[in-house]
Amino acid sequence: MKLLLPLAGLVLLLTSCSHKRVAVAVPAASPAAQNLPPYGTVGGAESGGAKLPEVDKAGLPPDTRPVLVETGIASWYGAPYHNRRGSNGEIYDMHAMTAAHRTLPLGSIVRVTDIASGSFAIVRITDRGPFVAGRVIDLSQAAAKKIGLVQRGTTKVRVELLKAPAPGAAGGRWAVQIGAFGHEGAARDCAGHLSRRYQSAKILTFNSPVGDWWVRVRVKDDLRARAEEVMRDAKTSEGAIFLVRLD
């Protein structure tokens, strides 16, 4: 097995994969927030470390406090993904209280609050996304209804991590996702170049239920540091490049 070539080469390669970005009419299955605060950060300026008595509905003690807080734009995803397998291996049910996030461990319990209205939903992270620049979380249709998001499509939210089944930034398996491509041929052409040049990397090409195509680059040993180096150095005129946790 040849060693992974210098990541600087990936910069030149990705810039050669240039195609127009595809606009999708329905909410895509989500990009995750970059630069999250370290796991173990208690409360936050917005939560004030306040107790959350409603979390007992999620099987957590009523005095549970958030260990991580982030804010950003939320969207939701529904029918095109309903009854399809999610990133955690479960069949996605748009009527269940779940969500997609790019970097929180799968199985995490989070509280999502619409900042403008104060409405909230407690959800379990079962999927990866949203893969749309500028968004931090994709809610199921049921969770979106609970905070009044369905008709609006997007809203600014506060995401509070209440419970995680695995370590945060220090652990996990990580990859880089590139897209979206409008045509299968464009995605496979880009993936082919990556596969030939980086023989120790694992390259996957796949399409979403809404018809766009993606390329995922699994760096050697799935290490976050290597994936983050790709994120820092790579440039592409096609869509965007996302850091994604696999587990």
* Pairwise CA distance, residues 77 & 14, whole Å: 28
Residue 155 pLDDT: 97
* Pairwise CA distance, residues 220 & 199, whole Å: 10
* Pairwise CA distance, residues 25 & 80, whole Å: 11
* Pairwise CA distance, residues 134 & 149, whole Å: 17
Residue 113 pLDDT: 97
Residue 73 pLDDT: 98
Closest CA to 31 of 130, 123, 158: 130
* Pairwise CA distance, residues 112 & 118, whole Å: 10
Instruction: Check: CB of residue 236 under 8 Å from CB of residue 18.
Output: yes
Tally Cβ neighbours within 10 Å of residue 225: 9
pTM for the structure as a whole: 0.78
Instruction: Check: CB of residue 28 under 8 Å from CB of residue 56.
Output: no
pLDDT band at 229; cut points 50, 70, 90: confident
Does residue 8 carry a pLDDT above 50?
A: no
Residue 237 pLDDT: 63
Residue 51 pLDDT: 46
Q: Sign of the CA dihedral 94, 96, 101, 103?
A: negative
* Pairwise CA distance, residues 35 & 152, whole Å: 27
Q: Which two tokens stand for residue 98?
A: 């779940």
Per-residue pLDDT reduced to its tens digit, 93-110: 999 999 999 999 999 999
* Pairwise CA distance, residues 117 & 148, whole Å: 9
Q: Identify which has the larger pLDDT, 22 or 199.
A: 199
Point out which residues pair with 113 in neighbouring strands. Answer: 120, 158
Residue 177 pLDDT: 94
* Pairwise CA distance, residues 111 & 77, whole Å: 18
